[in-house]
Structure 1
Amino acid sequence: MNYYLLVLLVASLGALSFFGYRSAKKIKNYDNYFLAGRQLGIFSVCVSLLATQIGGGVILGTSQASYKYGIYGIFYTFGLSLGLIAVAFFGAKQLREKNVATVAELFEKEYNSVFLKKIASIISITSLYGILISLIISTKGFLVAFGMKNDLILYAFWVILLTYTILGGIRAVVYINMVKITLIFIVFTSVIAYYAIERFEFLQFSLDSLLVSIKPKGEISFSDYIIVPFLFVFIEQDMAQNFFAAKNTKVAYISAFLAGVLLLLFSFIPVIFGVAARSIGNIPDGANEMMFFFTQTSNGFVTLATSVATLCAILSTGDALLCAISSNLALDFKTKSKNSLLHTRIITIALGVGAIALAHYFNDIIKIMLISYEVMVCTLFLPIVTSYFNFKNTTAFAYISIILGIVGFISYQKFVVLFEHNISREIFCILLALFAFPLSRVYTLSQAKN
């Protein structure tokens, strides 16, 4: 089984690398590389949005959390789904109308500050980098579940993924993701059908155990697992990049709504199988519970199919993150060098290799993702969302808002201890940042008088 999976993995990555190489020859400029010429339709954008989210976090992270907490394991994916549906009504259209290439660019266009654009870009890259690390952690758990504990396999997997993504840009990523997302949905719905017909006792066990053996609610915060992903959807670069690449505003908001609904429906699958994994014992340390469950309770074909689908999911989110990081580096820190795109590719590959090394020091997928989300939500949410509105925004407001967000992020623990108030970090930071409205007004008036 491990041999077949390894051969299939190598063959798939080789094919993707070749496709990335072919796509690279057609790239003429930044707009084509990062935004596909702003010509993507509803199906392309919807699939790309799903590919951005249905990765190691949603499949392996949700199943891991469900194994521990039961139905509460769905909170993270539920937050993402609600975020996509909400951004369809407010956010997708506004982002497409701004006609920018990165979220950080809003600080230059709306707040007239190139410096803030670079600060926002650094924060965005840091946030996306943390999510990338969590994805590598999930890959390691996936491989361990199949007895592949050799780190060289993990390194090879991610280095090849880095290569084909950096070569082909968003157009190659979108086309490849169409195939991958279709395969993911077909495989996992078929696996549900298989267990319903052949091994229904495991589904029955899962349904009976969803609300059993759940740790105290203090162990899993409603705010952290729903609100943070919900808010992050409005401002994350890898999501917004799909809206920037949409053909028009209608394509942007329809795609977001469809992606949100499909993601919500899909999220119940890793929850069911994560809980079902409680029915077996002796899960190896570091192995993903759901994948190990498949190896122990299904036939070789089902195990291989779910393995391929999960690998596709990891690849889909991984290449979306790498494209987003690459776009931040190239478009927010433009240089006049003729080889600037080449330099961006080299730096992105170096960052990716660094993420592989850092992933060895962590093991909680969802926790790392939530911390990464918090960094950006706490510091940039208010000024970014405010920029969606068409009223005069001042540079002072953006500066003060970001500074207050950073202060809130750093001082949060002291606030909780001092006032004994269990408010979540991101809500605390956003509420603190709201003081930027009166403070920036006072500053503007004082400047006018002077």
Structure 2
Amino acid sequence: MNIVDVFIIVVYFIGIALVGFLGVKKAKSSEDYAIAGRNLSFFMYFGCLSALTLGGAATVGTAKLGYQSGLSGMWFVFSQGLGLIIISIFLAKKIFNLKVLTIGEMLEKRFSVEARLISSLVSATYTTMLTVTQIIAIGSVLNAWVKWDFSVSILVAGGIVIFYTVLGGMWSVTMTDIVQFIVMTIGIFFIMLPLSLSKVGGWSGLQDSIPSSYFDFSVMGGLDMMKSFLLYTLGIVVGQDVWQRIFTAKSLKVSRIGMAAAGGYSFLYAITVAIIGMCAFAVVPNIADPQHAFASIAIAALPTGALGIVLAGVLSALMSTSSGTLIASSTLIVNDVIKRLFLPNMSEKLFLIVSRLATLCIGLFSITCALWVQDVLAALDIAFAVLSGALFFPIILGFFWKKVTARAVFYSIIISTVVIGISLAFEGTTSIVPILYGLFTSFITIVVITLIEGLGKSTTKSVEL
């Protein structure tokens, strides 16, 4: 990269750190720190939710899939957008009216404190793994583009994310997300896509340069498409990071419309980045690691200055998601575990102190994990498999089946999590089997225990009569 591009990146890092620092003044209470005071307007809410959903895996991972499979590589991010639209239509009103900070709080109100604790630990594992995936992608991108050492890249960019998230919480995350949403939109849609297509001679040139199968939306195969739906659509529906954003909207109308808009934006993003990956295949067909597809086409197609802006856009996607999942993890741990079990009467001031310490610890842990795990999509698959398989049915059935019992939900989460972990160990992270086993185990456990308990109550009543 030219020195001008590197300068743009350095200035971008400094600017994001300063913007994030401004959020410190707004974080004066637990709700300010965790959900931005429930006060976001449509544009802020839509931009933040889009920036959260479309992170490093969405950018680097979709370009990789587009490089390998063509347009069918879009299904990964398309499934996430579908999850947002499903929430908007069926669940937004129920979630928004809960007036809680976490999924765990909802489960305690509906079932029991045990359900709250176990679900929060599972959700915190998921959000922490998502943070790890974004930090891995940051290291990969900076290593490929700027030629910084992978470890140095993670420490610099990850350190900035931790810095502003620890200080200002959701307000800092929101303010930086708006900047990052604008930068990533300009970088991907208005610079990267047109210049990548120009490099291959336009759409017709792209069609002449790559196999015709790359234009088939189903070439990935029905099994992988189903896997994307089971992992990412269901995972988005029950993800604490997404729920926490719903709580930030100032009204139900903003929540529903903003979420539907973010889902539509995700569809456009999925197709766009898949096409960029296809352009990479046409221009650089022999990349040793397909995970570098996006970086390779950018370096080949973009002029000085534009390359720096696009890289800033990619980093925006990575950093916005990592900060969102980081604050989600700390909120789960502080609100559902520390406050619920150990410090039930903590003051607002103490809540902020504990939240900042928890955010710092989780951030440092995520950076450490990122230095060991190198594959973005593998880490993401693990996170979504655990979340979708263990929490989807407890949450959805909790909303729509009044007879579900607290004991059924508690054991469902524990048993399905164990089943998923064992299946991942034997089948590998690329297999669809662990998520299917998890969903099946979760559903059967809830139904069987609920029916048994219902039968027991009926028998007791008969004996009393």
Same fold (TM over 0.5): yes
In the alignment, the residues of structure 1 paired with residue 264 and residue 359 of structure 2 have an alpha-carbon distance, to the nearest angstrom, of 32
The AA in structure 2 aligned to 1:132 is T
Separation of aligned partners in 2, 1:248 and 1:216: 41
Q: Which residue of 2 is the match for residue 110 of structure 1? A: 110
Picking from 206, 215, 221, the partner of 2:224 is 221
Residues 270-319 of structure 1 show CA distances to partners (whole Å, capped at 9, x for unaligned) of 11111111222564658621112111232113212211111111111111
Displacement of 1:71 in angstroms is: 2.1
Indicate whether 1:239 and 2:242 are aligned: yes
Q: Measured at CA, do residues 219 and 288 of structure 1 come closer, stay the same or move farther in structure 2, by a change above 3 Å?
A: farther
Give the 3 Å change call, closer, same or farther, for CA 145–331 of structure 1 in structure 2: same
Distance (Å, rounded) in 2 between the aligned partners of 1:265 and 1:70: 15
After the TM superposition, which residues 8-407 of structure 1 pair with which residues of structure 2 at under 5 Å, given as runs?
A: 8-111=8-111, 113-150=112-149, 151-191=151-191, 192-196=193-197, 198-201=198-201, 203-208=203-208, 209=210, 211-212=212-213, 221-278=224-281, 279-280=283-284, 283=287, 288-333=292-337, 334=339, 335=343, 336-337=345-346, 339-389=350-400, 391=402, 393-407=404-418
Q: Deviations over 1:421-445 (max 9, x none)?
A: x974323322332222242231244
Distance 1:414 1:331 in 2: 31
The answer to whether residue 449 in structure 2 is matched with residue 442 in structure 1 is no
Distance 1:149 1:33 in 2: 33
Tell me how far apart the structure 2 counterparts of residues 401 and 58 of structure 1 sit (CA, whole Å): 30
Between 134-143 and 5-14, report the one with greater CA deviation: 5-14
Q: 1:87 to 1:424 in 2, by over 3 A?
A: farther
Q: Aligned partners of 1:220 and 1:363: how far apart in 2?
A: 25
- The amino acid that maps onto 2:4 is Y
For the 8 Å contact 1:96–1:249, the answer to whether it is kept is yes
Residues 287 and 447 of structure 1: is their aligned pair in 2 closer, same or farther, counting only changes over 3 Å? closer
Question: Which amino acid counterpart does residue 142 of structure 1 have in structure 2?
Answer: V
Displacement of 1:392 in angstroms is 5.1
Alpha-carbon distance in structure 2 between the residues aligned to 1:167 and 1:415: 41
In the alignment, the residues of structure 2 paired with residue 20 and residue 104 of structure 1 have an alpha-carbon distance, to the nearest angstrom, of 28
- Which string of whole-angstrom CA distances, capped at 9 and with x for unpartnered residues, describes residues 175-205 of structure 1? 3222221222223222233445x53526445
- Cα 1:371–1:304, aligned 2, differ >3 Å: closer, same or farther? same
C-alpha distance in 2, partners of 1:20/1:297?
32
> What amino acid does structure 2 have at the position aligned with 1:304?
G
What is the DSSP-based 3-state SS (H/G/I as helix, E as strand, rest coil) of the residue aligned with 2:27? coil
> Matched residue of 1:361: which SS?
coil
Structure 2: which 5+ residue stretches go unaligned?
A: none
- Cα distance change of structure 1 residues 223 and 339 upon mapping to structure 2, 3 Å threshold: same
Shifted more, 42-51 versus 232-241: the winner is 42-51
Q: Is the 8 A contact 1:404 1:432 kept in 2?
A: yes
- Report the Cα distance in structure 1 between the residues aligned to 2:426 and 2:289, rounded to whole angstroms: 37
Runs of 4 or more consecutive aligned structure 1 residues displaced over 6 Å after TM superposition: 213-216, 413-416
Q: Percent identity?
A: 24
Amino acid at match of 1:303: L
Q: Secondary structure at the match of 2:201?
A: helix
C-alpha distance in 1, partners of 2:45/2:422? 39
**1:189 aligned counterpart, secondary structure:** helix
5+ residue gaps, structure 1, are: 417-421
SS state at 2:97 partner? helix
Q: 1:285 to 1:58 in 2, by over 3 A?
A: closer
Q: 2-side partners of 1:356 and 1:350: how far apart?
A: 10
Note the alpha carbon deviations across 1:297-348, whole angstroms, 9 max, x for none.
3211321221111111111111111111121122112124553422332232
Distance 1:217 1:225 in 2: 11
Q: Is the 8 A contact 1:207 1:272 kept in 2?
A: no
Rounded Cα–Cα distance in structure 2 between residues aligned with 1:386 and 1:89? 17
3-state SS of 1:86 partner: helix
- Residues 326, 348 of structure 1: 8 Å contact kept: yes
Check 1:268–1:441 CA distance in 2 against 1; reply closer, same or farther (3 A cut). Answer: same
Counterpart residue identity of residue 296, structure 2:
F
| Contact 2:89–2:256 (CA under 8 A) maintained in structure 1 | yes
Answer whether contact 1:234 1:385 (CA < 8 A) is retained: no
Report the residue type matching 2:412 in the other structure.
Answer: S
1:236 Cα offset (Å): 0.3
Distance 1:297 1:20, change over 3 A: closer
> Counterpart amino acid of 2:319?
L
Verify the 8 A CA contact 1:405 1:429 in the aligned structure 2. yes
Deviation at 1:211, TM superposition (A): 4.5
Deviation at 1:15, TM superposition (A): 3.0
Q: Which moved more, 1:373-382 or 1:12-21?
A: 12-21
Alignment check: 8 A CA contact 2:132 2:366 kept:
yes
Deviation at 1:62, TM superposition (A): 0.4
Displacement after TM superposition at 1:2 (Å): 5.1
| TM-score relative to the length of structure 1 | 0.89
